[in-house]
Amino acid sequence: MHNRQSAPRKAGPLRVALVGLATVLITLGYSVRVLVLGAIGRLRRAKVDGFTRDWSGSLLRLTGARLSRHGEVPDFGDGRRYMILCTHSSFYDIPAIFVTMPGSIRMLAKRELFAVPVWGAAMRAAEFPSIDRHNRHQAMADLARARQMMESGIVLWAAPEGTRSRDGRLQPFKKGCFRLAQQTDAIIVPVAIRGIQQLLPAGGLKLNLGMPVEVHVGAPIDSTDFTERGVDALMSEVRGRMLELLEPSAHPVPAPVREEQAPA
């Protein structure tokens, strides 16, 4: 599906402020809905899946971003445990994944985010996991819960770079999510998002409207194939796949699987 849209353009200060305000209000609105449904015992995973996609679509529509997905997505419902490991160069990486990828996707979040009023409580109610690496006993409990979540059908999203790249180039990886993948025998789906760093670059408030954003999905990697070779070998393999996906020669774009601003 192709939409007629204006050429990319820089947003002025007023538009940036309005997008920021709308983002906060939309996020607050969905957080409250999650908490209310949770309080009355009517919050279901499928409902959360819909909320995450609707929330993501609403945020992306504010920017006029033109999303397309390239590459084959595995069957997340085949009974195996899955993790999406993705490049990270913009706040909008997460909404882009929620909009373009199927399944019950949940972000592996930093523990500090759960301290944010309303939003943190909503994330907890919506089955967003975290791993506390500063407390060994809590980390073991978190790891067991993450494994249970994946066994029940949840797909974990994580950014191995840890922080957003300022220029779109791949930063050094942290080992945490790779250890989690090996400890849970997960299938890793490498994903690289091209062009999103120009939508809202890290470290500033420069917003560019109507940007083309390409989500490139790589072939799955079975973490159990790297049990003997260790986490460093697994990390190197995933990094190599992501670097390939960032290159224009990967999935040359004549025919995207889907191109859209966001679901209506």
pLDDT at residue 4 greater than cutoff 90: no
pLDDT on residue 64:
95
Per-residue pLDDT of 50-81, as tens digits, reads 999 999 999 999 999 999 999 999 999 998 99
pTM of the model: 0.87
191 vs 238: CA distance, rounded Å:
9
CA dist., res. 143 & res. 44, Å (int): 22
**Percentage of the residues of the chain whose pLDDT score is greater than 90:** 66
Position 251 confidence tier, pLDDT thresholds 50, 70, 90: low
pLDDT of residue 140: 80
Domains and CATH numbers, the chain: 9-250 (3.40.1130)
Of 29, 44, 34, 40, the C-alpha closest to 121 is 34
Given a cut of 80, is residue 254 above it in pLDDT? no
How large a percentage of the chain has pLDDT more than 70? Answer: 91
DSSP string, 181-230: HHHTTPEEEEEEEESGGGTS-TTS---EET-EEEEEEPPPEEGGGGTTT-
- pLDDT tier for residue 256 given thresholds of 50, 70 and 90: very low
List pLDDT tens digits, range 188-240: 999 999 999 889 877 777 899 999 999 999 999 999 999 999 999 999 999 99
**Which residues lie below 8 Å from residue 259, measured CB to CB, with a gap of 6+?**
1, 2, 3, 66, 67, 68
Are 9 and 210 spatial neighbours (Cβ–Cβ below 8 Å)? yes
Above 80 in pLDDT, residue 12?
yes
Residue among 45, 158, 34 at smallest CA distance from 104: 45
Strand, coil or helix: what is 69?
strand
**Chain centroid, CA 224 distance in Å:** 23
Average pLDDT over residues 95-101: 96
